[in-house]
Amino acid sequence: MSKPLKILSIVVGSVVAVLILGSIALSLYVRTDDFRSRVEAGTTRAMGMQFSIEGALNVGLFPAPHITMQGVHVHNRGTELASVDEVHLRMSLLSLFRKRVDITVLHLDRPHILVERGSDGIFNVKRSTPPYVRRPHGPMEITVTDADIRFQGGEPGLMAEGHGCDAQMHDVRTEAPDGRNILQRISFTGDMTCHDAEADAAGRQVVATGVKAGATAGGAILVLQSFSLKLLGTQATGNLHMDLTHEPDHYAVSYSVPGFDVAKIFQALKLKDIAEGHADLRGELSFAGSEHKELTQSLSGHAFLYAKEIELHGYDLDGELSRFESSQHFDLLDLGAVFYAGPLGLVATKGYDFASIKRKGGTSHIHVLVARVKVEKGVATAEDVAMSTDRYRMAAQGAVDLPKQEFDDVTAAVVDAQGCVIAEQKISGTFKKPKLQKQSMLKVLTGPFRTLGRKAKSLVSKPGCKVFYSGSVIPY
């Protein structure tokens, strides 16, 4: 062997021996309480949050410097922000020679994360103490497996959580700490899946399964694009845009829920066996704020509901209408705002009494139901809200004030083929205590009211009547 090769082999052998001895020494040192305390203290200073390790702690050098920690806990502002069964991170070797830690790979296995707004209005993700390290980080590759994530608002009944979530985040970079929260300083691309997710606002719960979404973040803008989930028995899709550059935070969502099962809505409201059939729901809505009141007061956009061939059980709508002339007793709004205010009417019907529907008996066949609603600053106004049965056509006008939970000049009416009112009823008051005005029947027909069922397409009011409805639902 030549002299240079001998020298090289001696050098390489020495380096390998040093690394092996170093690994042995390091493996012994990491088992000491001193090393664990140093890691906990250093991470606490770097995060500006209380960091602790309850389980095993292991360090390795091959194939790159790495640390594995089990039973990790993070506390901040009096709450446990996160607990993780196992954390594995890989570091840049070059950064260690510079006496700094640059994480290149981070894996979180079975984390449990709680993002909570405290009584002081501050979220627990905001650092309780200034960070020790004030520099940007990245790029990193982050993976998360089997996570449970919960968001808890500052008021009772405002909650969202996901279970069994996996995520992959690429090219993750964070700007230097400057008082903003992490969502305002981070950038990445990635995707996420959750086995199931649920949200609860003011006692109204929505549960979804099979949640999937692509995500991008940067410049305090977070976008979930092409998210999909199974909702109301069907596959729903949409997009979510979060703008955190201003106070309050702004959100915009578009969604489509085609062919959902109508019965599942009533079941969610604990009103079983009311109706069956399928409908399409879509919309574009924007809102701002962090509390329920702020969100509803800023709600704006459009919502649209379309359904065909719906069966309403326990109520014979045509039979009740045909007896209206003699009895003069029929609540046009007895079906509730579901059939008049469409998707946003579900909010109103939460406090409305459906019991009278089930006591009457019979079945109603609704051929077409349309509910097109415009929302401005929390007030949902009917643009095209109507339905047709075997004999009759019903329509509604007016609005519902979601922040105040009040009906605003809502009128439901039976209309003839020309769209003029045959009978109408107005509703006012709150969602929980609606006030129904006495029904009125307008004597404007060319023939007896009872003939409407046989001549729904041809019967019209006297010339010059005021058209109440001119929307898309035509007489059946």
Question: Which backbone phi and psi does 341 adopt, to 5 degrees?
Answer: -105, 5
pLDDT of residue 461: 52
pLDDT of residue 464: 64
Say which residue the tokens 């240079």 belong to: 4
Closest CA to 142 of 174, 115, 117: 174
Distance between CA 41 and CA 52 in Å, rounded?
8
Distance between CA 420 and CA 469 in Å, rounded?
7
Q: Where are the beta strands (DSSP E) in 153-233?
A: 158-174, 186-201, 204-218, 221-231
Distance between CA 337 and CA 434 in Å, rounded?
11
Distance between CA 432 and CA 278 in Å, rounded?
27
pLDDT of residue 60: 82
pLDDT of residue 353: 46
Closest CA to 170 of 194, 146, 144: 144
pLDDT of residue 374: 93
Residue 266 Rama label (left phi>0; alpha psi -120 to 50; beta): alpha
pLDDT of residue 29: 43
CB 253 within 8 A of CB 235: no
The two tokens of residue 227 are: 């998210």
Distance between CA 23 and CA 358 in Å, rounded?
76
Q: With b meaning 16 or more CB within 10 Å and e meaning fewer, what string describes 183-204?
A: bbbbbbebbbbbebbeebbeee
Question: Which segments of the chain have a pLDDT < 70?
Answer: 1-32, 95, 97, 131-133, 154-157, 201-204, 268-273, 320-321, 323-361, 436, 438-464
pTM: 0.76
Distance between CA 247 and CA 250 in Å, rounded?
8
pLDDT of residue 442: 45
pLDDT of residue 336: 43
